[in-house]
Amino acid sequence: MFFEGTLAWSDILFLLKGAVVTIAITLAAVGIGTLFGTLFGVIRAGAAWWISSPLGWVLDIFRSVPLLIQLVIFNSFNSMFRLNWPTYVVACICLGVYAAALCTEIVRSGVAAVPTTTRRAARSLGLTWRQEVVSITLPIATRIVFPSWIGLALGIMKDTSLVLWIGIIELLRSSQIVTTRIQEPLTILAITGVIYFLMSFPIARLGARLEKRWQIQ
């Protein structure tokens, strides 16, 4: 037993299982968001207005509507259209779309920050638009937007706590279940906070180290 015989190691393990679910959803959502956010960000930065503006309007919807509402709507559509997707898949897709909407503007601002003279010089050397974007623009933009991307990843990790509303037992929901059993909310919330910190701290430190290394280079 642990903590005056009220909190068992099995409870700690239950919280850690919830943390694993949190990490899994975070990785999936950030992966989806980064992939589509990069694509949409490049389009928003360089496409014609009749493509960029409608895309921006659609993404504004996902940035503006609270994530909890999006999760509930996504989950309801899953039932209404009889898709029969597991709630884990629904959560990953919903958070991924939300992350993509945020990441799009991060990438767009990074691409826009690349000097026009640099891009023109690349094109004058004979590079195609695709070669210029992949070899010149995106590497420079990555260094610019990396701190914001780290903040996005950490934010998505914390936002995973909202998936409890569609029935997923992640870290926060695990803490609620344990709290209901042993009636020690402060202790459980403190442990939960420490677990969130242990998951987030390495990402933040890695981001700071990479940013410092790129500045030196």
Per-residue confidence at 2, pLDDT binned at 50, 70, 90? Answer: very low
Helices 9-46 and 87-113: crossing angle, nearest 10°? Answer: 40
Q: Which two tokens stand for residue 144?
A: 């610019």
CATH architecture group of domain 9-216 = Orthogonal Bundle (1.10)
pTM of the model: 0.91
Sign of the dihedral defined by the CA atoms of residues 203, 206, 208, 210, in that order: negative
pLDDT digits (tens, 9 = 90+) for 38-84: 999 999 998 888 999 999 999 999 999 999 999 999 999 999 998 89
pLDDT at 120: 87
Q: Taking the CB of residue 136, how many other CB atoms lie within 10 A of it?
A: 18
Per-residue confidence at 3, pLDDT binned at 50, 70, 90? Answer: very low
